[in-house]
A and B are shown apart, each in its own frame.
Chain A
Amino acid sequence: MTRLAAHGVGLEVPPGWEGRIVRRPSIHPAEQPRAVVHVASFPLPEARGDFGVGVTELMRSGDVFLTLFEYGPESLGTPLFAPVGIPQLTGAIFGSRRLQRTLPGQLGCQLFFTTDRRPFCLYVVVAGRLHLRSALAQVNPFLETLDLSR
C-alpha cells in the first residue's frame, strides 16, 4: 500500500489503486480551503469534478471510485452531518438513484459524517452490481486507514 498525506488527510491507497489529495481553493475570503480525496481502482483523469464528473464516465465493469469531500465549519452541528466517525459501507446503502450522475450499470452511495470537528461527505461509485461485494471488501479496509485528525 502507498501512504499519502496532505491537507490534514492521511490514507493508504490499496495496491493497484490511484489516489489524490487536493485542496480546493476558497472562493470567498471568509471561506477556508477544503481537502478533497479521490481514490480509484483505475487511472484517474487530471480533469475531475469533485464528485466524479469526468471520471465516472470512464468506469468499466468492476471499477470503483471514491470521493471524500470536506465541508466548511458552517456545516458543523447541522442534522445532515450528525453521524460521528468514519462510516463503514454495506451493500444495502448502494443504489442507482444515489448517484450524482446516473450512468447505466453504476451504483452509488453518499454518506455525510463528522469526525474531529470536520464535516465530510463520502461518495462511492461502483460499476456493476455483480462487483459490489468485492468492491466493499476493498473500500471498507481502505476507510479504516483514513486519518482525518489535523
Chain B
Amino acid sequence: MTALVVVETVVLVLLVVMVTGLLRSHGEILRRLHALGAGLDPDAVDAPAVLRPRGDLARDHAGLGPAADLAGEGLHDDAVSIPVIGVRHRTLLAFLSSGCLTCRGFWDSFARPATLGLPADVRLVVVTKDAAEESVRVLRDLAAPDLAVVMSNAAWEQYAVPGSPYFALVDGSSARVVGEGTGATWAQVQSLLVHATGDEEDRRGSSGGGAAATEARIDLELLVQGIRPGDPRLYGSTGVPAS
C-alpha cells in the first residue's frame, strides 16, 4: 500500500512538472507571436508598429544585407521564378501565410491594389512557405487573381524571416535589402517603405536619387498620414494648390 502511494506521488509530481513546463512554453510562444504582431487578440490589430531593424543578423555597413531572386511554386500548379535583383524596380516582399490571423488584413488590402499607394517603382510579391506547410486552397481564396504569389521555403530561409507577416524591400539595382520589418496594418508597412526610402537616400548621399526620389518619399509620407492627391489639406486655407 505504501509503495502504491509513493508511486502515485512520484507520478503526480512528474505530471505537475510537465504541465508547468508546457504552460511556460505556451506563454513564451504567445509572447513572441505578440511581439511579431501576430497575437491571437483580434483587437490587437491596430497595436503600435513593431517595425524594427534586424539587429539579430550580421549586416554589412552598406545596408541591410544581400537579396536573392525568388523561385518556387505558384498557387495554380505552376512553377514560378521572379527576379528581384538586376531589375530596374524595387520589390516589396510580403511574407504571409494561410494560417496567420494578422495576415488576413494584408490579403484583403492586396485585393485592392489601387488603394495601397505603392510607389510606381515598387512591385509587390507575396511569399508563403511551401505547399506542404500551407493550405493551398485557403491561399487561393485569399490571394487576389492579379497578385504575384510564390511558395518558397528557400526564400524564407534566404531572407531569415522570423515569422509572418514580415516585409522586406529589395532594391533591384543594388541587389540589397533596403528595409525590412513587420507590422500589423498596411499603414505600418507604408511607414517601413518611407523609412527605407529615406535611409537609402542618405546612404547614397544627399544628391542620390534626385528630385524624383525625394518626391516619391514625400508622397509616401503623405500617404502614411492618409493624405492622397486632391486632399484639401494640401492646399492650405486658400483651397488652391501651392505653387
On A, residues with C-beta under 8 Å from B are 2-7, 13, 15-23, 43, 45-47
Contacts and interface: CB of A to CB of B under 8 A. Distances in A.
Contact of A20 (B81, B123, B147): B81
Contacts of A23: 77-78
A105 B145 CA distance: 30
Interface stretch (B68-76, B163-171, B205-213): B68-76
A43 B123 CA distance: 9
Given A21-B79, A23-B78, 17 more contacts: A2-B69, A4-B79, A5-B79, A6-B77, A6-B79, A13-B81, A16-B83, A16-B85, A16-B87, A17-B81, A19-B79, A20-B74, A20-B79, A21-B78, A22-B78, A43-B89, A46-B147
Interface residues of B, number: 21
Interface string B60-72: 0000000001010
A2 B82 CA distance: 9
Nearest to A21: B79
Interface of B: 69, 71, 73-74, 76-83, 85-87, 89, 123, 145-148
A19 B81 contact: yes
Nearest to A13: B81
Nearest to B84: A16
A45 B82 CA distance: 11
Contacts, number: 56
B79 A46 contact: no
Contacts of B79: 4-7, 19-21
B113 to A, nearest CB: 11
B136 to A, nearest CB: 15
B127 to A, nearest CB: 15
8 contacts: A4-B71, A6-B77, A20-B78, A20-B80, A20-B81, A22-B76, A43-B123, A47-B145
Nearest to B75: A46
Contacts of A17: 81, 83
A20 B149 CA distance: 12
> Considering residues B79, B80, B82, B145, which has the most beta carbons from chain A within 10 angstroms of its beta carbon?
B79
Main secondary structure on chain A at its contact with chain B? strand
B80 to A, nearest CB: 6
B81 A46 contact: no
Contact of A2 (B76, B78, B81): B81
A5 to B, nearest CB: 7
A7 B77 CA distance: 9
Q: In the A-B complex, list the 10 residue pairs whose CB atoms are closest, starting with the nearest.
A: A6-B79, A16-B86, A22-B78, A19-B81, A21-B79, A2-B81, A13-B81, A4-B79, A46-B146, A2-B71
Contacts of A45: 146
A21 B145 CA distance: 17
B87 A46 contact: no
A16 B83 CA distance: 5
Contacts of B148: 43, 46
Nearest to A12: B81
Given A15-B86, A46-B148, A22 B77 contact: yes
Nearest to A33: B77
A16 B146 CA distance: 21
Nearest to B87: A16
Contacts of B78: 6, 20-23
Contacts of A46: 145-148
